[in-house]
């Protein structure tokens, strides 16, 4: 089927060439301005005898799989999208819709569900016939009543240490799979540290891949150490069936046939624009209260697939007094809203208190220890005349004496002596073999605390 430039609108030819470049065949699987006659009932309802679309993509059996509208100019944008959703989608029943202009491509999947599922999303390329057929196959698998088998050796099985099954892991996976099959695009798991979030996600990943509900999954972390742990201690458990790899800058194409990609958010920030919007079927964001900011939301919105956030400490964003923050930016900083939980209830919750009450986590006692420096900073503030260069330890005299307030300790000024005192108190109030989580204000603060603890532990070991 030949098309003369004169009869095709300016945007049609580039779109047709882009589709042909990825395997669509003009006059076969790619139809230019096809006309479809309406039934008598449809003629009365829509007040026309036929419809004529800009472009239609169909499978090898002639079934319409996507409709493309090429008149997405600003003045006609709402009209073009309404025509796709309310006319072409109803009559031709395609799975996918595209609205195009010279500058952009908007995409919509009729299987999407959830709060923001009604919105067209920007994409950087069209799907191939094979990719569309795979998505249809995954959707059929999701809508089947066939039960999903969860590997109890990975999650939800009997734990001999505590003498019972970790049932909550299975509950979490079943709820997530149910929401995933329903087409939910955003989900949040609030699970306390120590309850096995990563292992739960490994079992979820295996279930989705094994039952054809996903083909490629991205696991996002915020540190290199966590990326290594996710692969070595997590996804390695299913490596015989499904391979995993850590993404580094620009190497994602080399691993396009690998089922599970693990990436540090900083790396993803550099490469995401090179990646196709439809590259993944699911994104799992670990420590999602830290991994996403106003700018990084753009990264996850780039990928047109469901995402699951994992956190032990979900954040409710509240603007500080006299600080003007737009509702949109505030919603991005709110863990619940960012992952589709408008009522501030996670998709699945098993928090610290419940973990302790049911015997999955050890109880704890709060013991507050205030050093002399802390008390002094709390009261009138600590007078300081000089500081030390963190590298050379050289004294730097201040222009005038300053009062160091409590809120500035560790944030603006670090005290090595105070870190030594904290380490001593930890040694006095803990026993060998106990697990402990220590929170620092910054990397520099954590570095000083580690050095202080190492000095204390060296003394203990020498004794």
CATH number at residue 58: 3.90.1570.30
Confidence of residue 7 (pLDDT cuts 50, 70, 90): very low
Instruction: Specify whether 113 is located in the same domain as 243.
Output: no
- Does any domain span residue 6? no
| CATH code, domain with 289 | 3.40.50.300
Terminal C-alpha separation, the chain = 87
Which pair of tokens denotes residue 291?
Answer: 């991994």
In this structure, are residues 304 and 121 in contact, taking their beta carbons and an 8 Å threshold? yes
Are 152 and 73 part of one and the same domain? no
- pLDDT, one tens digit per residue, over 113-152 is 776 667 888 898 999 999 999 888 888 777 777 788 899 9
Domain count, the chain: 3
Whether residue 44 is found in the same domain as residue 101: yes
Do 198 and 340 have their domain in common? Answer: yes
In this structure, is residue 74 part of a structural domain?
A: yes
Model pTM greater than 0.75?
no
Question: Where does a domain end: 357, 382, 399?
Answer: 357
Is residue 309 one of the residues assigned to a domain? yes
- In whole angstroms, give the CA distance from residue 232 to residue 339: 28
Q: Containing domain of residue 439, as a range? A: 372-462
Domain end position, chosen among 81, 107, 135: 135
401-456 pLDDT, tens digit per residue, is 777 776 666 777 777 777 888 888 888 888 777 777 788 877 788 888 898 888 88
Q: Mean pLDDT, the chain, as a whole number?
A: 83
Residues 337 and 218 in one domain: yes
Q: Are residues 447 and 394 in the same domain?
A: yes
Decide if 320 is inside a domain: yes
Together in a domain, 288 and 327: yes
On whether residue 364 sits in a domain, the answer given is no
Runs of H (alpha helix) within 230-296 = 265-271, 288-291
As a whole number of angstroms, the distance between CA 143 and CA 137 comes to 10
What angle (nearest 5°) sits at the alpha carbon of residue 319, between those of residues 318 and 321?
125
Helices (H), ranges, 327-434 = 327-333, 335-338, 352-357, 372-378, 416-428
Q: Is residue 24 part of a domain?
A: yes
pLDDT for res 28: 92
Q: How far is CA 259 from CA 79, 185, 200, 217, in A?
A: 40, 20, 17, 6
> Phi-psi bin for 23: left (phi > 0), alpha (psi -120 to 50), beta?
left
If asked whether residues 208 and 251 sit together in one domain, one would say yes
Read off the pLDDT band of 336 (50, 70, 90): confident
């Amino acid at each position: 089927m030949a098309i003369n430039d004169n009869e095709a609108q300016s945007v049609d030819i580039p779109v047709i060439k882009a589709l042909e470049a990825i395997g669509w065949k003009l006059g076969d699987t790619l139809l230019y301005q096809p006309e479809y006659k309406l039934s008598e009932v449809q003629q009365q309802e829509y007040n026309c005898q036929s419809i004529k679309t800009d472009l239609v993509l169909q499978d090898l059996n002639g079934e319409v799989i996507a409709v493309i509208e090429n008149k997405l100019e600003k003045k006609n944008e709402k009209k073009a999208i309404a025509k796709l959703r309310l006319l072409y989608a109803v009559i031709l029943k395609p799975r996918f819709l595209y609205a195009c202009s010279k500058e952009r491509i908007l995409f919509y999947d009729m299987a999407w569900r959830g709060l923001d599922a009604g919105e067209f999303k920007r994409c950087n390329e069209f799907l191939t016939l094979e990719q569309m057929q795979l998505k249809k196959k995954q959707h059929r698998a999701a809508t089947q009543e066939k039960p999903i088998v969860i590997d109890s050796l990975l999650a939800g099985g009997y734990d001999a240490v505590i003498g019972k099954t970790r049932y909550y892991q299975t509950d979490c996976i079943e709820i997530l799979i149910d929401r995933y099959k329903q087409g939910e695009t955003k989900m949040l798991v609030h699970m306390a540290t120590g309850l096995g979030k990563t292992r739960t996600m490994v079992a979820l990943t295996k279930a989705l891949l094994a039952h054809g509900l996903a083909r490629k999954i991205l696991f996002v972390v915020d540190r290199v150490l966590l990326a290594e742990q996710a692969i070595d201690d997590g996804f390695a458990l299913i490596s015989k069936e499904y391979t995993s790899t850590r993404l580094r800058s620009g190497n994602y194409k080399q691993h396009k046939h690998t089922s599970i990609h693990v990436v540090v958010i900083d790396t993803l920030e550099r490469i995401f624009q090179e990646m196709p919007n439809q590259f993944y079927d699911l994104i799992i964001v670990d420590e999602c209260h830290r991994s996403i900011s106003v700018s990084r939301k753009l990264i996850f919105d780039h990928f047109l697939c469901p995402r699951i956030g994992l956190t032990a400490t979900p954040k409710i964003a509240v603007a500080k007094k006299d600080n003007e923050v737009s509702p949109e930016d505030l919603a991005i900083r709110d863990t619940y809203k960012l992952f589709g939980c408008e009522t501030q209830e996670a998709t699945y919750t098993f928090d610290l208190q419940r973990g302790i009450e049911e015997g999955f986590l050890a109880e704890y006692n709060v013991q507050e220890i205030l050093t002399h420096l802390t008390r002094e900073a709390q009261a009138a503030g600590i007078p300081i005349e000089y500081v030390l260069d963190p590298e050379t330890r050289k004294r730097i005299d201040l222009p005038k004496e300053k009062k160091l307030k409590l809120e500035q300790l560790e944030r603006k000024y670090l005290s090595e002596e105070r870190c030594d005192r904290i380490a001593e108190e930890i040694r006095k109030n803990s026993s060998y073999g106990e697990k402990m989580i220590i929170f620092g204000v910054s990397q520099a603060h954590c570095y000083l605390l580690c050095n202080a603890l190492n000095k204390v532990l060296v003394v203990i070991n020498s004794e």
